[in-house]
Amino acid sequence: MIADNTFIADQFSLLAKLTDIHGGNSFKSKAYAAAAFTIERLPQQLADLPAEKMASIKGIGDSVAKKIKEIFDAGEITALAELIANTPSGIMQMLNIKGIGPKKITVIWKEMGIESIGELLYACNENRLTLYKGFGEKTQKSIQESIEYFLNNIGSYLYAQIEPLANNLDAALKKNFPEYVFLSTGIFRRQLETIDKLEWVTNTPAAALQSYLLENNFVTEKLETEESVFQGKDENILLHFYHATHENLYHKQFTTSCSEAFLNEWNERKLFKSVVNYFSEEEIFEEAKLSFIPPFLRETITVIDKAIHNNLPGVIQTKDIKAIIHSHSKWSDGNNTIEEMAKTAIAMGLEYLVISDHSKTAVYANGLTEERLKAQHAEIDELNEKLKPFRIFKSIESDILNDGSLDYSNEILAGFDIVIASVHSNLKMNEEKAMMRLLNAIQNPFTSILGHCTGRLLLSRAGYPVDHIKLIDACATHNVVIELNAHPRRLDIDWRFIDHCLEKNVLISIDPDAHSTDAFRHIKYGVLAAQKAGVTAMQNLSSYSLGQFENFLITQHAKRSI
């Protein structure tokens, strides 16, 4: 294929941007940008021109002409290929995001140390961009919106992101086809943390469904008697419909609401007596003589044994949560004052609030120096007088430093009611290094809660590698609680490892890591993840009543004096 002008112009435009990002010669980058502009508007194709004529075109010149020749000869500009090789793929992706040019990307990469879109989005959510020159609140908001748009177009969503669309669609389908049944199923029904399709079982005729969805911004991917799939035009989500008859609707809902492993085990044990004439999922369980296994638990096969022995956990509900543990105020990088946070918690019927702003090493997040801590603690004392019987606890989200130590001297640490320890810096590390830092922090008698233990950001950053089993065992030995960070992009610790926590009697704490009062609602997503692991209210620290929490602190403080 011969490169056309549009392709060549794009190459120079990219070369200009990357030259700027890498701090190259600005005259050169301007020349490349000008060349891109000129080439795009040329009346004739460069491929049709003799090489010696190119350099004489205004806006091109010798150096650019040479590079055009490289494209024709080798398919690429060497200088550009080199720059691309030296740029993290996340930074390359950022170039596709509206509203951030090379200048801003340079600051994001070199000053903020952010190398992926997911991290950038998280930094926006945490209000971190506004601390840098050239990034006002408006810019931050528009970057955030552009990133969300970009990520949505990739086709996977956080559960919390897709939830409103799922609910609206469900209501719209039921309203439009009142004579038919729509049963939610699949991964959304199982409350998985990321969702790439929404699934229903229905007895609606496929053709009728198709014409309705075509009118409503979806295109048909597959239309068959067994199942139909539609792709959203704006929202890049797949809708998957399993067609059923009136008689086998619930059988189908059951089989599509289980993980593969679970369903295989179910079949192996011959728990189905028939495939039709169930008129609820409950009937299927009754017939199999098992207690009802809610869809969110239908992941592993062990749950079937628990159901046979009538031993299923009574899982935690959002209403069981009695406190906000892990929250940030304006003292570090939060949006609200402590008083605003406390009053919102009171209005929600909660009993206490744990304020855990960032520690001093987290300069990017306006972490608290020893002097500012004193002032913050005085403010909390005053508020505690004023807001009785509600309690605000003095906490800190202490950075776990490179060697695994906490961020303040023991004297300062002793001034906190409770310490949450989290890794925020130097996230690129191997398992050995990560475990060394984490285990040291866990062994520290001042650590009561291990915050977001892998640092993962769902759909955007994998998190550093850890040995979950070792980590959990160490928390059991040292009486440390493991946070289930409820931010829908974190949900860290992964629910898949929580059964080991429960086995070892390690408490979980469902914490919103709230940077604003609005983020208190994230608790719900932590609860959904905890339900998948079969966590009960009493296995979760944030469902402790104020009295129980105070007793818990006494046992934690006892560790400090040993």
Where along the sequence are the contacts to Zn ion (CB under 5 A)? 397, 422, 513
Please give the Cα distance from 33 to 27 (Å, whole number): 10
Whether omega before 465 lies within 30 degrees of 0, making that bond cis, reads no
- Run of H or E including 125: helix 117-125
Least CB distance to Zn ion at residue 357 (A): 8
Whichever of 15 and 158 has its CB closer to Zn ion, that residue is 158
Whichever of 295 and 455 has its CB closer to Zn ion, that residue is 455
Least CB distance to Zn ion at residue 429 (A): 16
Least CB distance to Zn ion at residue 442 (A): 16
Please give the Cα distance from 545 to 322 (Å, whole number): 6
Whichever of 445 and 455 has its CB closer to Zn ion, that residue is 455
Least CB distance to Zn ion at residue 20 (A): 32
Whichever of 115 and 357 has its CB closer to Zn ion, that residue is 357
Whichever of 255 and 332 has its CB closer to Zn ion, that residue is 332
- Tell me the Ramachandran region of residue 466: left when phi exceeds 0, alpha when psi lies from -120 to 50, beta otherwise: beta
The helix-helix angle for 370-387 and 338-347 (nearest 10°) equals: 40
Please give the Cα distance from 65 to 62 (Å, whole number): 5
β-bridge partners, 458:
none
Least CB distance to Zn ion at residue 165 (A): 28
- Run of H or E including 383: helix 370-387
Whichever of 100 and 457 has its CB closer to Zn ion, that residue is 457
| Residues 6+ positions from 55 with CB-CB distance below 8 Å | 61, 62, 64, 65
Whichever of 184 and 422 has its CB closer to Zn ion, that residue is 422
3-state secondary structure 150-208: HHHCCCCEEHHHHHHHHHHHHHHHHHHCCCCCEEEEHHHHCCCCEECEEEEEECCCHHH
Q: What is the largest CA-CA distance in the chain?
A: 86
Please give the Cα distance from 44 to 47 (Å, whole number): 9
Please give the Cα distance from 174 to 181 (Å, whole number): 7
Whichever of 64 and 514 has its CB closer to Zn ion, that residue is 514
Backbone phi, then psi, for 401, in 5-degree steps? -75, 175
How many Cβ atoms sit within 10 Å of the Cβ of residue 118? 21
Please give the Cα distance from 131 to 129 (Å, whole number): 5
Least CB distance to Zn ion at residue 492 (A): 10
- 197-202/238-243 β-pairing: parallel
Least CB distance to Zn ion at residue 441 (A): 13
Whichever of 422 and 556 has its CB closer to Zn ion, that residue is 422
Least CB distance to Zn ion at residue 535 (A): 21
Whichever of 54 and 514 has its CB closer to Zn ion, that residue is 514
Whichever of 240 and 452 has its CB closer to Zn ion, that residue is 452
Burial of 228 (0-12, 13-18, 19+ CB in 10 A): buried
What single DSSP character describes residue 2? Answer: P
Question: Measuring CA to CA, which residue among 292, 228, 233 is closest to residue 257?
Answer: 292
Least CB distance to Zn ion at residue 491 (A): 14
Please give the Cα distance from 322 to 496 (Å, whole number): 24
Whichever of 514 and 529 has its CB closer to Zn ion, that residue is 514
Question: Measuring CA to CA, which residue among 9, 13, 76 is closest to residue 39?
Answer: 9
Whichever of 193 and 397 has its CB closer to Zn ion, that residue is 397
Least CB distance to Zn ion at residue 399 (A): 9
β-bridge partners, 396:
357, 419
Question: Measuring CA to CA, which residue among 482, 486, 481, 484 is closest to residue 520?
Answer: 486
Least CB distance to Zn ion at residue 406 (A): 14
Least CB distance to Zn ion at residue 424 (A): 6
Least CB distance to Zn ion at residue 486 (A): 11
Please give the Cα distance from 506 to 498 (Å, whole number): 9
Cα 382 to Cα 272, 375, 388, 501: the distances in Å are: 63, 11, 10, 37
